[in-house]
Each structure stands twice: as structure tokens, then as C-alpha cells.
Structure 1
Amino acid sequence: MPPSGLPGTDDVPGADGDRTAGPPPDARTADGTGEGPRARRWCRGTRLLVAATGAWALLLVLHVLLAGRWWLWLLVEAVPPLTLVAVPLLLLAVTPLARPVRRWLAPVLVLLLLAGAHLAGFGAVVRGGPDTAARGTQVKVFAWSTDYWRMDDDEQDFYAFLRRQDADVYLLQEYLYWQDDEPVRIDDTTRLREELPGYHISVEGELLTLSRLPVVAEHHRRVPDTGTAWYREGSKAQRTDIRVGDRTVSFYNVHMPVPFQVGDNPLSGRFYRFLRDQYDWRDRELAALRADLAENPHPALLTGDFNSPWTGSLLDPAPGSRAHSPASGVLPARSWPVSDYPLPRLWRLDWLFTTGDLAVPGYRFGGGGDFSDHAAQEIRLVVPGPTTP
């Protein structure tokens, strides 16, 4: 018998071969299986989901930081903006299966989804919504990237399409031909005067502005009259000052350089040299446009083919301007491609900005698919009268 006050062996848990004794209580799970540490391990699917979320968050941050700032990032800029919504939605769809992390992972993905939706253009109509109550002189503007000026089109149908627009101001891009990968300058002014009588014709490089309103001034960049300087050194934002009512308004006809050529081999050095050259070219032209706007005393409308789906979010061609988006249903507006390419219409490359007190009560993407890979922009501009002191 043991001394008084000391437990006997029968009182000691696990003594004398007590085979039922297990790990201490803190090592057991609620069901007493003793599998706590193993149950807390993440399965492979959960680890993959967490890794994918982290990678996507990093990519989104890098996109915000590098878009428009690094030439190699032009490859990422080519991704359709709707991807920024599709990826977090897909990850959210499988999050309920990752039970150990779903409570904190779902809110993270919702934040990534909202950020992506903002960058992709959801809600843009609200931010730049129509000015239905605007009062002043109305101007009908038609802007369109023509896909190399009726190179493969029937002339009669092409000009009939332009006439039907009955615009006060036409802002047209790609007024040129291409031959053996070189731009070819054209002069179609005689036909233009026959088809659109009464319009002032202004040409700068491959940009064409037509106006039946009085033209106050044309601001053309001086370039050498040799080779292809008219195209490669000419302005990519043609400015024409036009009299609207009692005010002068600057109309900028914009066509920024393409980032790369569809079909080029991405494994070749030529592809990346072209990519860097195009980035430098775009950077110079955007800087020139911003500088001109900063010194321009007139209200301005800027529109055309900016060749980037991120112009309205991550690229700002006109600081202090107001971006406009046409109503397009559930998804953000898209303008390319409407023809020529076996791709879905997922990109918006054609944009509209205004400065000053100009109002846009009407704006939509119209036709153009019969002649070009770009949808045309139909714009109703209102220019308020001059303010009185």
C-alpha cells in the first residue's frame, strides 16, 4: 500500500499497461480522433487557390504601376479589360470549396473584383454620364478609324456611308494606303469636295478633318517633305480650331501608334524592337498632346483611335479632361474588332474626352463594320454660349 496521500498505480492514467490512454486533451480534436494537426493542413486545391489569388493581386498592382510606363508592359496592356473581372469571378466561384480559407479569401477576391471592374470600365457611364440638360449650340461630330481609306472597299458605298452621317465635323483617321509595309500618301480631296460639298478639308499626315462650321485655325506640325516623314514625324493629334456659335472650340483628331503588329513572331528580335519603338513614339505623341492642351485657351474635344483599352483608366491623354462612355448595356462599351479579325469584340480602342464646359448629351458607337475594323463614334456635342461678367 502506498504512503498516505500518494496515488496508487490504479489512479495513474496509463499505468500498468493502460493501452487506452492517448495523447493529452490539447492534442485531441473535438471528436476525440487525435487528428487535429493533420486536419489543419491545406489540401493541394486550397494551396493552389491561395497562390492564384496572391499572383493575381500582384499582377493587378503591377498593371496599375507599369501600364503606360514600361515598353515591355505593352504586351500585358493588350489583354482585354474584361479579364480583370473574369479571373476574380472564376476564383470566387471555387472559393467555397476551400473551407479552411474561404472566410478571409472571399473578401479579398471581392476587393480584387471591384478594382478590376473599375479599371475595366464598369460604371464609366455614370462617371461621364450624358449631359441631357445641357443648353447651347449643338454640333454633330463623327469620328472613325477608316481602315486605310477604302483600300479594299467600294468607293460608292464608302462615300455614301460618310454622307449618311450628315455630321458638322468629321474626324477621320488612316487617310492613307499601305504598300509593302510602307505608308503611301494619298490625295482624295477632289472626290471629297464632290461627295461632301461645303466642307473645309484639313489634312495632316494620315489624319483628316472635315468641317462645315467656320475653321479659325489649323495647327500643323512642320515636318521634312521627304520620304515618309509626313507619317512618322507628323502629329498624331491633329488640332483644328472651329467657330461654334460665338466661341472657338479645339477639335483634336487622334490616332496613336499601334503597340505591335498582329501576326508578328513574338520570339523574334524584330518584334521587341518594334514594340519598344512604338512605345517611345506613343510616349512622345502623348507628351506633345498634353503640352498643347496645357497651353490651349479654348475648350476642347479629343477623340479617335488611341490604340489602348486602358486610355480611360490607366492612361491619361488629357489631364483635367472629362472622359465619356457610351451606354452599352451590362458590359462596358467595346469598339474593336467589328470586322477583319477572328476575335470577339472585347476591346475599346476609340475614346472621347472633353475639356472646359463642353457637354455631351449624346454618344454612341455606330456602324462602320462594313468598311473598317473599328466601330464609328457618333457624338452630339453642346457648346454653351459665352459667359457674361
Structure 2
Amino acid sequence: MMDEREPKWYEQARKGPFQEARFTDSSAEQVMRRLRSEAEPARPRSRRMPRLAVVTAVILLLLAGAFYLKNGPIGRETPAGMVPVEEQAKPTDEALKKIAEQLMQEQLGQQLPFDKLDRMKMPGQAELTYRENEVADSWAYFWIDAETGEAASFSMRASYEPEAIDNTLIKQAGEKLQKLGYTGEFQATGLTRYVSYGRTADKTVQVINVVHAADADINFTNGVYVRAGFNVDQNEVSEELKQAGLEALGLVRSSSLADQLTRVVRSTIEGASDEITLYYGDSPGEGTFVTFDYTTQKVLDVADYSLNLVDLGGSRTDEEREEQLLSMDNAILQSTAAVIADKLYGINLKEDYTLVKNGPRPGVITFESHNGGPAIEATYNLDGVMYSFSIKRASNTL
């Protein structure tokens, strides 16, 4: 509860800018006499002026005192936001937590467990973390001005069971998916909400709701559809596209193992071309796939991440592996990549592209086009084997 006693500066404001009341009744009388004497030579009808002048003088003196108290002497700069008499109190840790938890309740509708508060990580700001543990799916991070208590930025994620999802949103998700070509019976299994603030120039809150089903996911950002992904019946995929997938996959595989198609997913992004991905292998899969442009049926991505599993004996540390990946000869990597990329994309990788290694991600290289074409990202293992290629484009991650 706030202290009901008046702060010291109330009393100081009443006194004016001086420790003693300099402008007394006697002072006022002296001003009046001086003004009267200065007004004597004036014309007769100006005899009414002194009283008005005195009132004006008194008002000006009082205003000058108030200006002095607020701003200090004229000509001396006062730091912005500085209270001259008494420094403004800074938010306590408990006050900062209260601010963060109120924002969390407003945006997520739930409270996550408090983890830690750090005032030292970023000067002038306090970082607050809410999560059950380091691998929890739900979390919230806040960066709050440690002087004013104003939220500079925040990022949150939370998961919800189907019964907690607004029925209107579920209906909207099902109807939109059907318009996109989804033919299943949409049954929401959950929702993931992402909330962020402070990342955009206009400092608006961005709320992303991803509605999940067993065979579909759809993203609404600030209430507007953005992207979706949904399963497609394999019978709806042409034999020509299935064959093209196997041929593309055969370019990166070191063996001629028969690959069984296990899942087909169509991805759509508002304002961008649709894509269709064919997944292969025992894992319903994320590790072995080929992605095509849905309309042109040109290859966009091909990968077999099982080829990355090299040196499982653990004879080398992670640091040694990363160092070896980064030290591999660029010319050899470009030649190896060209054998595959030229057939995948109909390009001349050695002549028309420049290789750039990704330092923070050892084993990842980017080929930048000399002619304004899209960049190509590739990955390689410790044996120099290329196991994925991808045309770089707007992310279709939900």
C-alpha cells in the first residue's frame, strides 16, 4: 500500500525555491511603493495601474519560483526525467515480477512457474524467466526497464488442450483448411500460442495461434491466416511426382535402398507458392524427404539426415568435429556439391555460385548466385558427403 503521508517535495513546493519565505508582506508593500512612485508622472487616468501591476508582479514571482523548483536556474540543464528534490524510487524485484506476471496473465491467460530474475545480464534492464525447467514447452521471458518498470520486450510460448481453445477459432481453422484443399475431418488436438513484443518498429504485440490436429496445423497471426500444413492422401500424388522424388533422393544417397513413401504433406503460405513434401522411411518422417513446388513440380529441397550419423564411436569431441567440418577444403566441397546440385536444379554451381561457410553452424554451407538467383544451402558430414540441399526462401515453419 502506498504511504499516505505527503512526500517532502509537497512541502518544498509550498515554500517555493528558497529555504526561507523571502517574498513577505513587507516585500510586497515595498514593490507597491516602488511601482507607485514610478507611476506618479503618468497621466491621471493611469492611477489605477499600480494595483494591477502589483498583482502581475506577484504572479510573475510565484511562477518564477515554480519554474525554479521544477527546472533549476535558467541556463542550467537538468537531466531529463530527474526529480530535483528527491530521487524517484526504483522498482523492487517483487514489483518487476508483478509487472511480468500481469502481462503473462493478459497474454497467455495462465501463470508459468517463476525461474529467475537477473539485473546484471543487461545494464539498465532486468531479465525475468518463467518456465518449469530448461526443456519445458511453455516459457516466458521479459526484459523490463529496471529504472521505470516499463516492459522493453517479451517473448512467451504456451500450450493448451483442445477444451481450452475458442470454438470460433476451431471453426475458422477447419473452414480455412478446407478452402486450401484439406479433405480430412478436422479435429483440433491442441493449440500453441506464441506472443512477442518489442521486435517490430511500431512496438506492437504479435500473437501467433497455431491450431493443431493429427493431420494438420494452421497458423493465425493477430487473427489473420498466415500458413498451414496438412496431410495429403498418397493416392492423390501422381506417379510422375513419386518417381521424381525417388530420383532426387537417389542423388544424395550412397546406396540404392528401396525407399518407401510414408507420408505426404502440403504446405501453404499466404502470398507465396504452395509446396508438397514426400517423406520416406520408417520414421513417419522428418529425416528423409523431397520437397517440390506444388504448381511447377520443381525440386526445392532434398535430404537424408541419416547420412549425418558418422563417427558414432565418440573418438572425437564436438569441438574437434566442428573444427574439422570448418577446415574442409572449399574447392572440394563445391565440386562435390556441384555433382548433385547441377542435376537437381539445372544450374552450374562451380561457375555461377560462390561458397560461403556458416561459422556458427559447422557443416552448413551456402552457395550465393552471381546472377541474382536464389541461394542454395547444403549440409555435409565429416566424410565430405552432401546429405541435404535446399533452395533458400521464406520460411514455412509453423
For this structure pair, what is the TM-score category when the shorter chain's length is used for normalisation? under 0.3
User: Computing the radius of gyration over CA atoms, which structure comes out larger, 1 or 2?
Assistant: 2
Q: Relative to total residues, which structure has the larger strand share, 1 or 2?
A: 2
- TM-score computed with the length of structure 1 as normaliser: 0.26
- TM-score computed with the length of structure 2 as normaliser: 0.26
